[in-house]
Structure 1
Amino acid sequence: MTNIAVINYGPRLDYPAMFPDAAGRLQVFSHHELRNTEGLGRYEYVKDCEAVPYPELMIRRLAREKPFTHIITDNEYDLERCARIRQDLGIPGQSPASALSFRDKVVMKQVASRTVATARFARLEAFADLTDFIGECDYPVVVKPVKQGGSRDIVVLRGEDDLVAFSRRLWREDLMVEEFVEGQMYHVDAVLADGYRFVASSRYLRSCLGVFSGHNNGSLQLRPEEKFARRLEEFFDRVLEAFDTPECSAYHLEVFHTPDGELVLCEIASRVGGDRIPALTRATYGVDLHTAVLRQSCGLPVEAPPSAPPAQVHGSVSILPQGRPVRAPGRPPFDWVHHYEVNEQLAPDAVTLYSASHLCFVIVRGADSAQVEERLYEAEAWLMENLEELPSS
């Protein structure tokens, strides 16, 4: 009989709906308070769950009473913790070494460079490592934490003034530096398991780093039969050839397409892509990425992914917090809008903290990526024009 430990992050995941045949065997520790927990074997909201040791302590204690058969998580920041517990308790799944290779961006690039192109990079043990790297590679360079996500705490240094400004910041012990790569960025989102393969390719509307200079963020799907989508899928397969991969996993790959036509790895993670990616995937393919990977990680069946090309594809754009008191408008008045949502948890004068920060977002549909892109810009323009200015407090 299966006994499944879950360390959850997603605030909207509905485990009873995802596991109707096994909900009573799920022991869930959650970073966010979940709306539906009926029928779960155990549920506990844990404040700061991803950062405190409590869920690990309790899983190990519960395992003494009834051994776990599976330990799963939807959270990138819990991959290594879950892998260590699995190893200690003799539970199958992703190993600590595999989890580290997808979490530590230096290790990731060291591994991936065996099979694909990556930008030049270095771990920063001291500030002199940064200046040495700039001396060898020149500006611009990108400095970022090796285990952070959502474009948090990333700094682009384009010249000496930027370097001087960076030198006034508190030094961190978890940094790396890499060359700045010019070009459009694409992402590939996949779930792979024994007898199951789902891969979808998309292009970011703008650079994820653009949110920190006020550019709204989004992405749009490519049709799977497109030549470039197939090229991205082949690149994804080459990347994975370099890694020790678990029997079942989701993946989120980011790759640059340079002006001279080369594909260069940005990053790859062994988890479901964030932001609107799961919603876009459901809208186009009817595939719930979280359900597909979490159920199969527990040896439970899922429906096969569709084999026929989709009737239409989707894209999304998120309007950033404006840093001043504003209210999002109502739903854009276009019949091709698939979904519109306002972030009700956001303070009116909030600022952008990471790439998925949003005041509101819209999902649109279209026959192909070109039509979706055109509609995203039209919806974005309408939303920006109809933001309601609020009086300052």
Structure 2
Amino acid sequence: MTTIPPDGDAPGRVAVINYRSVLDYPAMFPECADRLYVFSHHDLAHTEGLAHYEYVPQCESIPYAELAIRRMAHELTFTHVVTDNEYDLERAAHIREDLGLPGQSRASALAFRDKAVMKETAGRAVRVPGFARLTAFGDLTSFIEKFAYPVVVKPVKQGGSRDISVLRDEDDLLAFSRRPWREDLMAEEFVEGPMYHVDAVISEGYRFVASSRYLRSCLGVFTGHNNGSVQLRPESAFARRLEEYLDRVLAAFDTPGTSAYHLEVFHTPDDELVLCEIASRVGGDRIPQLTELTYGVDLHATTLRAACGLPVPQPPRDTPGEVHGSVSVLPQGRPVRAPGRPPFPWVRHYEVNTRLAPDAVTLHSAHHLCFAVVCGDGPEQVEARLLETERWLMARLSEADDANDTENAESTRGN
């Protein structure tokens, strides 16, 4: 173990705004669980011994948790305010600054959250796509005249590929013009090439960086393409190139003393790296699970503990014997039953989303009917196994008359 120099003093009382449904705060913070004040978007299974716990539905979009923490601060002394959720980064930063607590500043949180500010900031160090904030529809038509089709239109503070539109021609523009206009949009030049993601936790005395490639474009989920991710071998030349690129990007930002980072970057046909986005939080979807399987690093626990000045294990120095990848089968928009666990020996984990509505449609890039995690000696073998697993699953989807019919639709966990 190594003690990370804290962003301030070691934790007294810690306010937590939580999103993920699977986090176990008593297990992650055994030495100070009785000083954690947790407000959670999802109802957590493990809350024993916490100083305070509240399940707050829609916590990420309503200000109740912020009000409660501010009121508590009149009577209690908090040393840290932390969150695992991108949508709460600015809120947590506001509380910290008002209470005089260490951690990410409001300006830093905004630069990582607002995609237009992000592009302006990162553009000082690396190439970014052409972009423009849209204050009126005429801004969009002017942008298209300048950059030509296709163009991407997205909200500046959304995540998970939600509410993104790719306009490829005049018909797409006409269809887009029939939707209600939003005041939070930006336009962006379309970039060709596969997308990679880099996931990191960086603090004084601690550094972990891992690189992966998306199986397909994240935007493909909205046209029926299943999503997934393939880890690169960390010793590969391209993984090292991506790590160096991450450092170049971060050099342009005001970075907190401790943070996780999730960077997405295009690799163009002419071998150039072009920034898509960077966030100061743990990557979503299956990224934490794949990272722990390959490297033994719990991204959430490492980030949250290090941010509170608590000891965390150093990342492994040896290269892993195998890497992992995942493929998620999308909701089908009709009642279907997912098959049982694929029979392949290299499937490390298989899980069915039993809480999915029977007629669910894809709402974001992490939405899924089921997903599988596979292992292999390198990205080429992992990708081949993912595609074979995907074919097996898609061939065995069956109609379900009852939305609650879970024959063959039980979660299968473990190695």
Q: Within 5 Å, give how 1:86-125 maps onto structure 2.
A: 86-125=96-135
- Post-superposition offset of 1:325: 1.4
Q: Within 5 Å, give how 1:1-393 maps onto structure 2.
A: 2-391=12-401
- Post-superposition offset of 1:34: 0.2
Moved over 2 A (4+): 390-393
What is the Cα-based RMSD across aligned positions, in Å?
Answer: 0.9
Q: Which amino acid aligns with 1:20?
A: P
Q: Deviations over 1:46-89 (max 9, x none)?
A: 12111111111110111111111000000000000000000000
- Post-superposition offset of 1:389: 1.6
**What is the distance in 2 between the residues matched to 1:40 and 1:391?**
42
In structure 2, stretches of 5+ residues that fail to align are: 1-10, 404-415
State the SS of the aligned residue for 2:303. Answer: helix
2:408 equivalent in structure 1: none
**What is the distance in 2 between the residues matched to 1:23 and 1:180?**
46
**What is the distance in 1 between the residues matched to 2:84 and 2:176?**
34
Q: Deviations over 1:209-247 (max 9, x none)?
A: 000000000001000000000000010000000000000
**What is the distance in 2 between the residues matched to 1:276 and 1:195?**
27
**What is the distance in 2 between the residues matched to 1:245 and 1:106?**
17
**What is the distance in 2 between the residues matched to 1:121 and 1:146?**
11
**What is the distance in 2 between the residues matched to 1:55 and 1:322?**
35
- Post-superposition offset of 1:347: 1.7
- Post-superposition offset of 1:392: 8.0
- Post-superposition offset of 1:391: 3.6
Give me the identity figure in percent.
72
State the SS of the aligned residue for 1:83. Answer: helix
Q: Which amino acid aligns with 1:41?
A: A
Higher relative contact order (CA 8 A, sep 6+): 2
**What is the distance in 2 between the residues matched to 1:65 and 1:163?**
54
Q: Deviations over 1:20-48 (max 9, x none)?
A: 11110100000110000001110001121
State the SS of the aligned residue for 2:34. Answer: helix
Q: Which amino acid aligns with 1:7?
A: I
Q: Deviations over 1:71-120 (max 9, x none)?
A: 00000000000000000000000000000000000000000000001000
State the SS of the aligned residue for 1:302. Answer: coil
**What is the distance in 2 between the residues matched to 1:270 and 1:176?**
20
Q: Which amino acid aligns with 1:91?
A: L
**What is the distance in 1 between the residues matched to 2:171 and 2:145?**
15
